[in-house]
A and B are shown apart, each in its own frame.
Chain A
């Protein structure tokens, strides 16, 4: 059994309005030295499989076809044996 931890990052060349809005919020808290806030995605799930290579291919396929949009986002993931 593996746990997959997937990080999906919106490409830095693409404006992140959510990050901008949160940045305004942080600044209104009084932290004026904050900049470049970005909101990305973290997804985790478990995979009932023993072969790590198979798991890696499977997670890659799930990311490519659903979890990340190649026009907007890049992803990477970590596998943890559980």
Chain B
């Protein structure tokens, strides 16, 4: 299985993601530059974290017009697996591949720490290696992770089991205090209706090997290899 990591101008987790996939997970991994018109046969596309196009206008708003995104959108619409991490999640929402939008944290702060998360759906391509309702921890680092969607959209997310990760406390309680950014219903990660596009604010690529003191993130990618 071949992974492709997209580099937008302003991506800054591209090399972390590439390193993690190639040298920790040990899978074939290539970079895809935003100006390219081909996914070069990649089976899984990762839109990494960062500040694509300087976050100008809105986070992820300009990246959606990069030539590579036309290919990513076609690939996703045909059922190809796509993961957007942090800024990648913002780009997926702006591109219309995922519903809703991400806006400024309600705390007025950039948040940067390890956050507890609950796996509220483990029947997905991306979380089948976790236990249902497993409490895990992943680093978060964002100023605009406040997930917003209207009531009908939220109902759709629940009806179709599209909510995958929620912010929680160390015991798995989904509380206001454990919500780092004001996201509706503590949502940290969702997928599209078909289940092949996944966006999340936490950084699984930053917690995939023992030297980081946390390996909770690796199961996201192991789940994909299991699919």
Contact = CB atoms under 8 A, between A and B. Distances in A.
Given A66-B61, A67-B57, A69-B61, A17 B148 contact: no
Nearest to B144: A17
A16 B104 CA distance: 8
Given A66-B65, A71-B149, A18 B104 contact: yes
Interface of A: 14-18, 20-21, 66-67, 69, 71-72
Contact of B108 (A21, A67, A69): A21
B61 A14 contact: no
A17 B65 contact: no
Interface string B98-129: 00110111111000000000000000000000
Contacts of B146: 15
Interface residues of B, number: 20
B109 to A, nearest CB: 9
| Interface-centre pick from B65, B101, B105, B149 (highest chain A CB count, 10 A) | B101
Given A16-B104, A71-B100, A72-B103, 18 more contacts: A15-B106, A15-B146, A15-B182, A17-B104, A17-B105, A17-B107, A20-B108, A66-B61, A69-B58, A69-B61, A69-B101, A71-B93, A71-B101, A71-B148, A71-B150, A72-B58, A72-B101, A72-B148
Contacts of B62: 66
A5 B107 CA distance: 32
B94 interface: yes
| Interface-centre pick from A16, A17, A21 (highest chain B CB count, 10 A) | A17
A50 B51 CA distance: 38
A72 B150 CA distance: 10
A14 B148 contact: yes
* Interchain residue pairs A-B with the least CB separation, the first 3: A71-B101, A17-B108, A17-B104
Nearest to A73: B58
Contact of A17 (B101, B106, B150): B106
B40 to A, nearest CB: 28
5 contacts: A15-B146, A17-B108, A66-B57, A69-B94, A71-B149
Contacts of B148: 14, 71-72
Contacts of B104: 16-18
A14 B65 contact: no
Contacts of A21: 108
